[in-house]
Amino acid sequence: MTKVHLKSDERIDQLFSQNIQIIQSASVFAFSLDAVLLAHFAKAPKGGRGHTVDLCAGNGAIGLFYSQKSIGNITEVELQPRLADMATRSIMLNNLETRINVLNIDLADTLSYIKSGTVETVLCNPPYFLSSETSQKNPNEHLAIARHEITTNLDTVCQVSSRLLKDNGKLFMVHRPDRLVDVLLAMQAVRVAPKRIQFVHPKVGKEANIVLIEAIKNGKSGGVRVLDPLTVYDIDGHYTPMIKQVLYGE
């Protein structure tokens, strides 16, 4: 691993199942389990080749985790300069500069940098919450932008994803179950057909709080598969075997 400079509020965390290190900051941004699960859920194309774009990349965690199953180039798209800088340094930390780059741009401008119809895979952990004048937002601007649809929204994310993707290219997204209908409608409106859905429950007996979705550009409608659900914690509050495998490789 290459040594990189850390700011005063930063730390280095490791995903032990992949030996990937990520620069994190509790005061700015830190990846959570949904990022790890999306990278695990996403399938690499045959041979692992093709260009991958990670939209709403944050500190670059999803693209870095996904890089272990793909041999193609990965572009991280992140609006916030501080987060884009964290992602860039994490890429250096893992010696992946030849395969992964960061675009510090508005997601809506992505097609000015990446040609339409050339991308094999899009990954996205978008802001989950609708933004309105009355909605309560995190007072931390970095976290508010990451969590609320302040600078982008679901329709824009799906439109950009569809334009980036080749025919039969795949979009992998993580979101909240209470917005699943919004997600599916936004995908279908831009000819991206949902194909696999998996719900994640925090604990047995608790409602799902994460949903993972795979969709195909210009895929045929219908044929949606709902996979067996994942459960994060057992009744004793310990990670279930599946989650241990994803996090620690155990």
**Which tens digit of pLDDT belongs to each residue from 119-155?**
999 999 998 766 654 555 455 554 444 454 556 799 9
Residue range 16-44, pLDDT digits in tens: 889 899 999 988 888 889 999 999 999 99
Strand-pair category, 192-203 with 230-233 = parallel
Q: Answer whether CATH 1.20.1260.10 is correct for domain 11-248.
A: no
CB 82 within 8 A of CB 30: no
Q: Kindly report whether the global pTM for this prediction surpasses the value 0.95.
A: no
The residue ranges of every structural domain in the chain are 11-248
Residue 221: the pLDDT is 84
Alpha helices in 25-153 (DSSP H): 33-41, 61-66, 81-93, 141-147
Q: Which of 171, 165, 197 is nearest to 43 (CA)?
A: 171
CB 103 within 8 A of CB 113: yes
Give the span between the Cα atoms of 206 and 231, in whole angstroms: 9
As a whole-number percent, the residues of the chain with pLDDT over 90 amount to 79
Residue 166: the pLDDT is 97
As a whole-number percent, the residues of the chain with pLDDT over 70 amount to 90
Band (2; pLDDT cuts 50, 70, 90): confident
Give the span between the Cα atoms of 52 and 241, in whole angstroms: 29
Mean pLDDT of 88-117: 97
Can you read off the two tokens belonging to residue 72? 């193609």
